[in-house]
Amino acid sequence: MSEGAFKKYGKRTLVYLFLILMSIISVFPLYWCFISSCNNTQQILGGRMVPSTHLIENLKNLFAQQDVLNAFKNSVINTVLVLVLSLAICSIAGYGFEIFHDKGKDAVMAVIMMSMMVPFVAILVPLFQMFTKMGFVNKYIGYILPSLSTPFLIMLFRNNARTFPKEVLEAARVDGLSEFGIFVRMFVPMMRPTFAAAATITFMNTWNAYLWPKVVLQTPDSITMPMLVANLLSGYVVDYGVVMAGVTICTLPTVIVFFILQKSFTEAVAGAVK
Amino acid sequence: MTQTSGRRLTMHQKQNLWGWLFLIPATALIFWLSFYPMIRALMISFQGGRPTALTWSDPLTRNYQFLTKDKVFIQSLKNTFTYLIIQVPIMLVLAMIFATLLNDHLLKFKGIFRTCIFLPCATALVAYSLIFRTMFSYDGMVNAVLMKIGILDAPINWLNSPNTAKAVIIIALIWRWTGYNMIFYLSSMQSIDYSVYEAARIDGAGAATQLFKITIPLLKPIILVTAIMSTNGTLQLFDESVNLTKGGPANATITMSHYIYNTMFQKNPNFGYAAAMSFVILILVAILSAIQMKVGDKRE
């Protein structure tokens, strides 16, 4: 019996050790990046694992080299615009597809789902041409337009609209609320968790986007944080303290959102395939 | 009676109209910015010349013919498939292992482990590319630590030899995406009644039997989804190739998307050729997804 117990406890211990090791590996690069923003190039390359005193110096150099405030402002504006508009457009569409569904709308939904399989890079050339012609290059609208309506968000809202009680719908209609009124006054407040989930994943995707912004934002004063950070490596001599400070500034907002809204994020990732 | 049914029909029609009104903005945007460009891309892929004055190629399939002779394109295709074949299976198996371990009701600190393993998802692709580039640079931290411990005698030039550079990209990708896939598996596992596992355990089924006989068959649809998503994502890799290795050394790590971008924005941009390459990706995504769905169905 003691042998069995040993076998059991030994196995347990191994599982814990494995999970602890994997957790360390998962967290380490970010930890190292954050502490490296307080170190100079020599310390970073030498593998120093604790913060030193160079944070202010790195930030000073970073702000002297790059217009960080402007890029941060662009990222915030782009992200807020996409958040508000895409949630509005996709939530009402998902609601419409589910609540008023019939053969015609189901067919349209199926076609929209197909667009999920279209790789973004496959439409990059014509999209850039169209946006050049319309004068959207280097503008907020050029950045946000392709992310305003995504099949993923429409699907997320449609799947969750299934849980919207029919009785509430009927009662609101009897009370004389318009269809739009029902959506705004009944559905939106009731679906707060879904909106939180959609907002979290949209925030992450928009803040972190790189390929499309790199194509459509070509002037230095229109760039976003990820683009600014990527530029830090282009000099002859790379100051890794500055790079890590930049990466930290770019990453902190998403990491903070991750910790506050982890539950919503988890729901969003898994929610669309329910 | 005719009157009542007539009125009902109008109300139904009214609602129907509202429904269309609700979904038209989203649908119009997708048709305008996704389907229409797709057709345009197909047309452009048969064209050549300066971006502002594209003309039909002669012969029409000229861009596609050139693909087969373009060494960089073939290299980018090979690289992308190397990442796909090595990284996706390792990542999905790891994600499944993590999810299985974390789905154990007796496990303590579950939340902490899950948060840690999921955390890399909060990092921008550009950000983690730069972190890994810094860690694996020739005079960088990884070499310094490995030499200090005594595993290495001399530093490895990770990012400047083809195989190690590919390996670093694959390691970085696994680091970034395993937790993401784990969340899919974990939340599907949580919808499986836990008593099924308890019953299996009483019947003497070990952990492996439970995994292969209960979990994986029940999770097949979600495994399929993650496989298709990962394939789709890997075929479009861009940020890592651009920022981690800059496609080098000598195009040994360049991805198809990276090459398409270069073709669009080099000194003599060639939109027609870029569109032809992007259409290859579209077709590859379609074929691979179809295969995966077929395979996924057969095991039923």
- Say whether pLDDT at A137 is over 90: yes
Structure tokens belonging to residue B167: 């390996």
Task: Give the C-alpha separation, B80 to B234, whole Å.
Answer: 7
Read off the pLDDT of residues A62-103 as tens digits, 9 standing for 90 and up: 998 889 999 999 999 999 999 999 999 999 999 999 999 889
Mutate to test the interface with A, among B10, B15, B16, B30 (most CBs of A within 10 A): B30
Q: What single-letter amino acid sits at A151?
A: P
Between the alpha carbon of residue B42 and those of residues A129, B6, B31, B280, the distances in Å are: 14, 48, 15, 10
Which residues on A lie below 8 Å from B46 (Cβ)? none
Between the alpha carbon of residue B207 and those of residues A13, A147, B95, B199, the distances in Å are: 16, 43, 16, 13
Same domain, A52 and A122: no
Task: Give the C-alpha separation, B190 to B128, whole Å.
Answer: 30
pLDDT of residue B1: 41
Same domain, A180 and A128: yes
Which residues on B lie below 8 Å from A119 (Cβ)? 232, 235-236, 278, 281-282, 285
Q: Is B185 on the interface with A (CB under 8 A)?
A: no
Confidence of residue B8 (pLDDT cuts 50, 70, 90): low
Same domain, A98 and A157: yes
Contact B123 A105 (CB under 8 A): no
Same domain, A209 and A143: yes
Task: Give the C-alpha separation, A42 to A31, whole Å.
Answer: 18
Which residues on A lie below 8 Å from B141 (Cβ)? 32, 44-47
Query: Would you say residue A162 lies in a domain?
Result: yes
Residue among A179, A183, A243 minimizing CB distance to B15: A179
Contact A180 B18 (CB under 8 A): yes
Which ranges constitute the DSSP H helices of chain A? 2-36, 41-46, 55-65, 68-99, 103-114, 124-133, 140-144, 151-161, 166-174, 179-182, 188-190, 192-208, 211-216, 225-231, 240-260, 262-271
Same domain, A83 and A187: yes
How many structural domains comprise chain A? Answer: 2
Residue among B41, B144, B221 minimizing CB distance to A125: B41
Contact A121 B281 (CB under 8 A): yes
pLDDT of residue A272: 56
Task: Give the C-alpha separation, A161 to A194, whole Å.
Answer: 9
- Say whether pLDDT at A7 is over 80: no
Range of the domain at A197: 68-231
pLDDT of residue A5: 67
The DSSP letter of residue B215 is I
Nearest CA in chain A to B241: A211
Summarize the confidence of residues B253-273 as an average pLDDT: 90
Fold of B70-298: MetI-like fold (1.10.3720)
Task: Give the C-alpha separation, B35 to B43, whole Å.
Answer: 13
Contact, B111 vs B119, CB < 8 A?
no
Same domain, A110 and A226: yes
Q: Tell me the nearest-neighbour CA distance from A221 into chain B, angstroms.
A: 19
CA B216 from chain centre, in angstroms, equals 21
Q: What single-letter amino acid sits at A146?
A: P
User: What are the backbone angles phi and psi of residue B157, rounded to the nearest 5°?
Assistant: -85, 70
More confident residue, A11 or A217: A217
Task: Give the C-alpha separation, A116 to B232, whole Å.
Answer: 10
Summarize the confidence of residues A20-26 as an average pLDDT: 95
Summarize the confidence of residues A172-178 as an average pLDDT: 88
Contact B236 A119 (CB under 8 A): yes
pLDDT of residue B203: 87
Same domain, A22 and A107: no
Same domain, A92 and A120: yes
- Say whether pLDDT at A249 is over 90: yes
- Say whether pLDDT at A1 is over 60: no
Query: Would you say residue A19 lies in a domain?
Result: yes
pLDDT of residue B70: 92
Query: Would you say residue A258 lies in a domain?
Result: no
pLDDT of residue B152: 85
Query: Would you say residue A63 lies in a domain?
Result: no
Task: Look over chain B and give the mean of its residue pLDDT values, rounded to a whole number.
Answer: 88
- Say whether pLDDT at A6 is over 80: no
Highest average pLDDT, of A121-130, A263-272, B206-215, comes from A121-130
Query: Would you say residue A159 lies in a domain?
Result: yes
3-state secondary structure of A137: coil
Mutate to test the interface with A, among B123, B183, B260, B285 (most CBs of A within 10 A): B123
pLDDT of residue A273: 59
Same domain, A106 and A12: no
Task: Give the C-alpha separation, A31 to A107, whole Å.
Answer: 48
Percent residues over pLDDT 70 in chain A: 95
Within 13 Å and on the Cβ side, how many CA atoms surround A4?
1
Task: Look over chain A and give the mean of its residue pLDDT values, rounded to a whole number.
Answer: 89
Structure tokens belonging to residue A172: 């609101």
pLDDT of residue B2: 43
Domain ranges in chain B are: 2-44, 70-298
Q: Is the peptide bond before A165 cis (omega within 30 degrees of 0)?
A: no
Same domain, A119 and A227: yes
- Say whether pLDDT at B298 is over 70: no
Residue among B116, B261, B275 minimizing CB distance to A23: B116
Query: Would you say residue A237 lies in a domain?
Result: no
Structure tokens belonging to residue A91: 């939530």
Residue among A119, A229, A258 minimizing CB distance to B281: A119
Same domain, A109 and A147: yes
Mutate to test the interface with A, among B91, B126, B147, B175 (most CBs of A within 10 A): B126
Highest average pLDDT, of B171-180, B206-215, B257-266, comes from B171-180
Contact B257 A211 (CB under 8 A): yes
Read off the pLDDT of residues B222-243 as tens digits, 9 standing for 90 and up: 898 899 889 989 999 999 999 9
Lowest mean pLDDT among A106-115, A257-266, B65-74, B217-226: A257-266
Contact, A25 vs B117, CB < 8 A?
no
pLDDT of residue B31: 95
Same domain, A42 and A80: no
Which residues on B lie below 8 Å from A229 (Cβ)? 124, 126-127, 130
Which residues on A lie below 8 Å from B22 (Cβ)? 92-93, 95-96, 100, 179, 183
Write out the H or E segment, with its range, that includes residue B127.
helix B125-135
Read off the pLDDT of residues B81-139 as tens digits, 9 standing for 90 and up: 999 999 999 999 999 999 999 988 888 898 899 999 999 988 999 999 999 999 998 88
- Say whether pLDDT at B167 is over 60: yes
pLDDT of residue B300: 45
Contact B33 A204 (CB under 8 A): no
